[in-house]
Amino acid sequence: MLALRFYASGSFMEVIGDTMGLDKSTVCRAINNVTDALLANKDRFIKWPNQEEIVRSKQNFFARRGFPGVIGCVDGTHVRIQAPSEEEAVFVNRKGYHSINVQAICDHEGKFININARWPGSTHDSHIFRTSDVCLFLEGNHHGVEDGYLLGDSGYACSRFLITPYLHPANPSEEAFNAAHCRTRNTIERVFGWWKRRSHVLHSEIKMKPAKVCRIIGACAILHNIALSLKEEMEDEDEQDNDPAIHLAYRGPEDGRAIRNFITRTYF
């Protein structure tokens, strides 16, 4: 109960302890223990979809948003932290405050199927994805359009398994592609909004060392998936993340352009 109240409210540990008649050290210990217990079960609750789940995601994304072949949407969001005592400068993001840049991938239901919460705020989204386990997995296991792909914004490199929008759409088909891409990819923005409303600690400045903050983020992501699996209703389904990552347009090789053009010609 102490840990859940901390995740949900983001209040100071002293305040949580006072409201429940317990010492701050007890609250701290409870938060650490519950966080450790949740993270020990991460693979049960945050996992890459199997083939049946991939087919279901493709069908649902297409039925709801009109974009074919999507298995998930990827994006980043910043979680504010207090200035750390070590390597302080690398945690300052482009908005000028200290943060952890959290990369997440969600499915059509809003569940996290992958989360990466270990990079300081100054890290570019494309670097986080390029060095992630899921990128390495897709590089070795993705064989074509039939395997589906992720959708990301222009901060990522366009590849055969991560499709980004046209930076400069040149005709109505490319504009229609971008519109459908945006509608579909916004799923992850809504998920971030839901998630931060449920775990308000992610909205406030977390006054812990970065390593502990990363663990808190992971625990809150697991609780989000547990809530969805228990059919907990989300409030305000149109809620958007009001503190999103700052996206810079990626400049570099775009090996997925042929696939993007194929999708545009076939569906738009």
- pLDDT tens digits, 24-68: 899 999 999 999 999 999 999 999 999 999 999 999 999 988 899
238 pLDDT exceeds 70?
no
The answer to whether the beta carbons of residues 125 and 155 sit under 8 Å apart is yes
Would you state the pLDDT for residue 234? 61
| Residue with tokens 């040149």, as numbered in its chain | 170
Sequence-distant contacts of 24-29: CB under 8 A, at least 24 apart: 26/2, 27/2
What does the pLDDT look like over 104-130, one tens digit per residue?
Answer: 999 999 999 999 999 999 999 999 999
**Strand-pair partners of 119:** 101
Give the domain extent around 116.
47-267
Please tell me whether residues 118 and 198 are part of one structural domain. yes
Closest C-alpha to 106, from 132, 146, 70: 70
236 pLDDT exceeds 60?
no
Would you state the pLDDT for residue 18? 85
Please tell me whether residues 12 and 61 are part of one structural domain. no
Please tell me whether residues 65 and 165 are part of one structural domain. yes
Mean pLDDT of 252-267: 81
**CB neighbour list of residue 67: distance below 8 Å, 6 or more residues apart:** 61, 151, 180, 181, 183, 184, 267
Please tell me whether residues 6 and 130 are part of one structural domain. no
Please tell me whether residues 33 and 75 are part of one structural domain. no
Please tell me whether residues 128 and 221 are part of one structural domain. yes
Please tell me whether residues 78 and 14 are part of one structural domain. no
**Strand-pair partners of 151:** 73, 163
Please tell me whether residues 34 and 54 are part of one structural domain. no
Please tell me whether residues 71 and 4 are part of one structural domain. no
Please tell me whether residues 180 and 75 are part of one structural domain. yes
CA distances from 50 to 47, 110, 132, 142 (A): 9, 16, 19, 14
The answer to whether the beta carbons of residues 208 and 124 sit under 8 Å apart is no
**Cα gap 38→62, rounded to integer Å:** 33
Please tell me whether residues 84 and 25 are part of one structural domain. no
Please tell me whether residues 63 and 22 are part of one structural domain. no
Token pair of 77, please? Answer: 């969001």
**Cα gap 112→200, rounded to integer Å:** 18
- Tally of domains in the chain: 2
